[in-house]
Amino acid sequence: MATKKRYNFKGLDDIFGESVSDVVGKIENDKKLVEEAKTFVDINILKANPYQPRKIFEAEEITELAESIQLHGIIQPIIINFENEIVAGERRLRAAKQAGLSEVPVIRVNLSKLQMEEFAIIENIQRVDLLEIEEAIAYKQLSNSLKLKQEEISKRVGKSRSHVANIMRLLNLPDFVQKALLEKKLTMGHAKPLLTILGDENFLEYVFNKIIKEDITVREVEQLVKNKNKTSNSNIESKQVNPNLKSMENKIMRRLGTKVTIDSSKISIKYTSVDDLNRILDLLGFIEE
């Protein structure tokens, strides 16, 4: 009996060029490769990718996919490595289990742990329904694991550097805000104004609780932040400053997405990391494309 071919991807970039953004599609759409490499395995031996950046799987979507699988089977094989970890296709696996399948079609590829991580992150970034906070976490994974700068990440995923920088700003938000974004308890529209009050933790928490408990609109959040010194229920003591300087502070904070302080002799701009500093310098026009 002929053995299935083993596909050794020594370097994803060597095969697919500088971008690996459509690696999964290139494999799955190669009919000859699928026919030669596809095999069936016991569904219970498959394991989730340990580097999977996707945290939330919608139950309704899984149920719809399970119904489709019951009617038509799994059209695209699940891609796994030789340790039975899923490279791409976790939604398909979850739906297949729900549909009651005992085995599923797979294509095995020989990937290193580093390639597995890159594969999973970039494949997930290309999803149209990826939450902005999930995207930010994925970029952070690329930065930490592959030691990539924001400019290098932007080239890998086929997005502009400013897009990557702006999305990664969400990681400056407190953990409880990031968790709420993951759970879809508030939107990107709600989160953006919170980025301008990072230096005022008490007021930020006050606005956040108001969003969660009272379901206020994005416009109301923007108005709260804009008029924070006039908010009677915030219980926040604000410094007494020149109103013109305070107005300018708020304008700069909205533009840069970070804490800005202006006094009579200096302007202070807060940044949290080298990447965050580069993002601010980019917004100020000091970094050329």
Measure CA of the first residue to CA of the last residue in the chain; give whole Å: 56
Q: Let me know if 214 is a catalytic residue.
A: no
Q: Which residue carries 């599923």 as its tokens?
A: 104
CA dist 39 to 132, 134, 208, Å?
35, 32, 50
If asked whether residues 269 and 193 sit together in one domain, one would say yes
Which residue in 112, 115, 120 sits closest to 87, CA to CA? Answer: 120
Q: Where are the alpha helices (DSSP H) in the chain?
A: 12-16, 23-28, 31-37, 59-72, 90-98, 113-125, 132-146, 150-157, 161-168, 175-182, 188-195, 201-214, 218-226, 243-256, 274-283
What pLDDT sits at residue 1?
A: 41
If asked whether residues 193 and 276 sit together in one domain, one would say yes
What pLDDT sits at residue 209?
A: 93
Task: Give the residue from 58, 93, 125 where a domain finishes.
Answer: 125
Q: Is residue 183 classed as helix, strand or coil in its secondary structure?
A: coil
* Residue 235 maps to a domain: yes
Task: Give the residue from 95, 125, 155 where a domain finishes.
Answer: 125
Q: Domain containing 243: what range?
A: 174-283
Catalytic annotation, pick one of 28, 85, 90, 134: 90
Which residue in 219, 216, 208, 264 sits closest to 239, CA to CA? Answer: 264
Mind listing the pLDDT tens digit of every residue in the chain (289 residues)? 444 544 444 444 443 343 334 556 667 677 776 777 788 999 999 988 877 766 667 788 888 888 998 888 888 888 888 899 988 888 888 899 999 999 998 888 877 787 777 777 776 776 667 788 988 988 888 888 778 888 888 887 778 889 999 999 999 999 999 999 998 898 999 999 999 898 888 899 999 999 999 989 999 999 888 887 554 444 444 445 567 777 788 888 888 888 888 876 788 888 888 888 888 888 888 876 5
Task: Give the residue from 66, 91, 125 where a domain finishes.
Answer: 125
What pLDDT sits at residue 181?
A: 93
If asked whether residues 106 and 184 sit together in one domain, one would say no
* Residue 109 maps to a domain: yes
What pLDDT sits at residue 239?
A: 47
What pLDDT sits at residue 256?
A: 85
* Residue 1 maps to a domain: no
N residues, the chain = 289
If asked whether residues 239 and 179 sit together in one domain, one would say yes
Q: DSSP code of 19?
A: -
If asked whether residues 119 and 178 sit together in one domain, one would say no
CA dist 18 to 78, 117, 125, 157, Å?
24, 17, 16, 10
* Residue 154 maps to a domain: no
* Residue 90 maps to a domain: yes
User: How many structural domains does the chain have?
Assistant: 2
* Residue 144 maps to a domain: no
* Residue 72 maps to a domain: yes
- At 55, which CATH number? 3.90.1530.30
If asked whether residues 98 and 34 sit together in one domain, one would say yes
